[in-house]
Structure 1
């Protein structure tokens, strides 16, 4: 069984093969194998491509870590990811919420509808002054409140007319 040559240009001494390693030089690191700074054309494992001819990186150099205590050193973790959706930038006007709620409650009670309409007008003024959100709720409170107030007034007028008509037809 034959093994492919390992990457990096070194030979595994335990792998079978006709090639032998060069004699060890005790003055050199890592068992005496010199670190090539520039590949030669006779080297079968010389890199080819855009990095050919460049000096090899020194594997014994100190890693490029930031100095201890450096407040501007880059951390080992990536920066935090931003959330998918941000928090709303403006708050909703509470009076607009109350105007819509009172106008809708006015469907059953008819008493709170005009209060909801008036609160809607006040809320619109506050929204324009403060730059808050909730303009749609305030307008809905105004519209629903005044419509229900008008219907309530028409109903009261109809009841009064019916009472007057019934009293004039007395036997």
Structure 2
């Protein structure tokens, strides 16, 4: 009970405050660091690295201008085949529009077949596929409309003969 208060001695008093040492002013040399107190050896200063050899002299770069021409590269294997006949645009459009708007796909397919017969272009298979898909989609659409109309007529007929009348 060294720092406790007792009734005879009064409250314990802390030691007086000592402010820290002021830092050195601007431009003043700092105090040298003290050696470690625990007896560790001081670190010796690092040795200077060996000097590098002088850089070799490189030749002067040529002036800007036309680069030297490269020799032709020999081609190996077979030469590229010549370009074949182009594909008929109407045949491509026939296949595309057969899914979107079947009537237009059918018209473009017939135009494409006549152009292919006259000019010899590629795309006969595309035109035939556009025609077939266009006719199938058109037929299915027509069947859907017929069944829809018959269904509506049957519903109206069933509602009319049901016997329920609303009177106002």
Give the structure-2-normalised TM-score: 0.48
Give the structure-1-normalised TM-score: 0.47
Of structures 1 and 2, the larger Rg is shown by 2
